[in-house]
Amino acid sequence: MRVLVQRVSQARVVIDKNEVACIGLGMLLLVAVAKEDQEADAQLLAKKIVGLRIFPDAQGKMNLSILEVCGAILSVPQFTLYADTNRGHRPGFDQAAEPSKAIVLWNKLNQLIADNGVCVSQGVFGATMDVQLTNNGPVTLWLDSKF
């Protein structure tokens, strides 16, 4: 699994001019599932995400987790994180899991995070979404369960 984590002041998902999810301070997660991913990948990344110390403490040092700042998460499925752009100009997505598998593991990741006490809002799997955010810092991290 791959997750692009962005520390945000706010983020929201809009579909057909309707807001379907919104958070204030927290993290926007763009989540992709690979063909070979299993529940263990979701477990590893959920633990990593909840424990990430990317929020500033009183001295301005990135030292606090999302739990410590009472932040929320907006999780958005994004299979394009597995794009292969090595040949030509059209990306290939052979590494990405089929939708039936990807939605199960994406939901599992979200549930594992929520089980740790973090409020999780979600985009809509398979939908064309407008994702709007204010990247705070900016802080953007790349997580991969295979590295």
> Catalytic residue among 10, 43, 59, 78, which?
78
Backbone angles phi, psi at 140, to 5 degrees: -135, 125
Q: Is 38 a catalytic residue?
A: no
> Catalytic residue among 6, 10, 55, 79, which?
79
Q: Is 147 a catalytic residue?
A: no
Beta strands in 49-100 (DSSP E): 55-56, 62-64, 72-77
> Catalytic residue among 80, 111, 128, 134, which?
80
Q: Is 85 a catalytic residue?
A: no
Catalytic amino acids?
A: 78-80
